[in-house]
Amino acid sequence: MRWEDERRSDNVEDRRGERAGLGKIAAAPVLLRFLPAMIRSKTGRTILIVGVLLIVGGRILGIDIGSMFFGGGGVAGGSSQEFSQQEQELADFVSVVLADTEDVWHKVFQQQGARYREPTLVLFTGSVNSACGMASAAVGPFYCPGDQKLYIDLSFFGELKARAGARSDFDFAQAYVVAHEIGHHVQTLSGISQQVQKLGQGRSKAEVNALSVRQELQADCLAGVWASHTGIPLERGDLVEGMQAAASIGDDTLQRDAGRRVRPESFTHGTSEQRVAWLRRGLESGDMAACDTFSAARL
């Protein structure tokens, strides 16, 4: 992909280097309310002094104790942390891809008489707080409908490249990952995610998993729709990279690679063959209507 001269998105929230905190607690306003009384009390003054020492000591050790209680959740100086040129370039790249998805989906929604609401992409390291709860980088990139943000630890791309055995830059495959999460945002704006959640209520785990597979395959197809309309110039081999990436993260492939028995009832994203097929369908059709995985008799 020749992306260097393309537009960057303004909807990127860089939390790399920050440590996920405990969030705000209800005790914070209570502490402020009783602060005058604590100052007048010998015991209260002792507690305040210990608290200050903890915060100062935490700062020295690089731990923001205060943010654990009053929100924020950052590491002292985390936002000024320096990253390698390669990682900065990767962050720049995903910003370009996000900008292109904005352009594409604005046009697609407009053609349907609807309005596209742009999501935010959050870059993080290790773990992150979202409206869907705290998550580790081990879960991979994810989209949270609660805050309409997609979350990515850039180290995932290195793992994906190694898993697919890629020798090239693998940039289109990385773009496919971003576009897949944007596909979930499109599902949220279209009301599909909410419908799936309702359909899953009161059903068995196997039935919920089956619904999840259809939802994930649709996101793959929507990623293909984006790719068919992308304004980023593609290069020879880019589409093959995308197919390789999709195949490498199929449920059956992941279970085999982990040395486990393949259990279709436990699938949540679909097989490698299914993921490639639906990505290709979106790519070749360029049409959201072609991505109706929920009506398809055969996935």
Both 133 and 239 in a single domain?
Answer: yes
**Residue type (1 letter), 86:** Q
Q: Last residue of a domain, which of 19, 52, 74?
A: 74
In a domain, 106, yes or no: yes
Task: Give residue 197's domain range.
Answer: 83-291
Range in 77-86, 128-137, 285-294 with the lowest mean pLDDT = 77-86
Both 142 and 253 in a single domain?
Answer: yes
In a domain, 88, yes or no: yes
pLDDT tens digits, residue range 146-183? 999 999 999 998 888 888 776 566 789 999 999 999 99
Both 217 and 152 in a single domain?
Answer: yes
| pLDDT confidence bin for 83, thresholds 50/70/90 | confident
Both 116 and 215 in a single domain?
Answer: yes
Structural domain total, the chain: 2
| pLDDT confidence bin for 90, thresholds 50/70/90 | very high
Q: Last residue of a domain, which of 74, 107, 137?
A: 74
Both 244 and 268 in a single domain?
Answer: yes
- Rounded to the nearest integer, the mean pLDDT of the chain is 83
Both 155 and 211 in a single domain?
Answer: yes
Distance from first CA to last CA of the chain, Å, rounded?
30
Both 103 and 223 in a single domain?
Answer: yes
Question: In the chain, pLDDT over 90 holds for what percent of residues?
Answer: 62
pLDDT on residue 161: 82
Rounded Cα distance between 279 and 246, Å, is 8
Q: Last residue of a domain, which of 19, 47, 74?
A: 74
Both 118 and 261 in a single domain?
Answer: yes
In a domain, 162, yes or no: yes
**Residue type (1 letter), 76:** A
pLDDT at 78 over 60: no
pLDDT on residue 166: 60
Rounded Cα distance between 182 and 109, Å, is 14
Q: Give the residue with greater pLDDT, 144 vs 25.
A: 144
Question: In the chain, pLDDT over 70 holds for what percent of residues?
Answer: 78
In a domain, 15, yes or no: no
pLDDT tens digits, residue range 232-271? 998 888 888 889 889 999 999 999 999 999 999 999 999 9
- What is the average pLDDT across 32-45? 55
Both 98 and 42 in a single domain?
Answer: no
The region that residue 118 occupies, defined by phi over 0 for left and psi between -120 and 50 for alpha, beta otherwise, is beta
In a domain, 231, yes or no: yes
In a domain, 22, yes or no: no
- What is the average pLDDT across 210-231? 96
pLDDT on residue 196: 95
In a domain, 21, yes or no: no
Both 53 and 198 in a single domain?
Answer: no
In a domain, 230, yes or no: yes
Rounded Cα distance between 16 and 30, Å, is 32
Q: pTM here? A: 0.79
Both 230 and 271 in a single domain?
Answer: yes
Both 47 and 194 in a single domain?
Answer: no
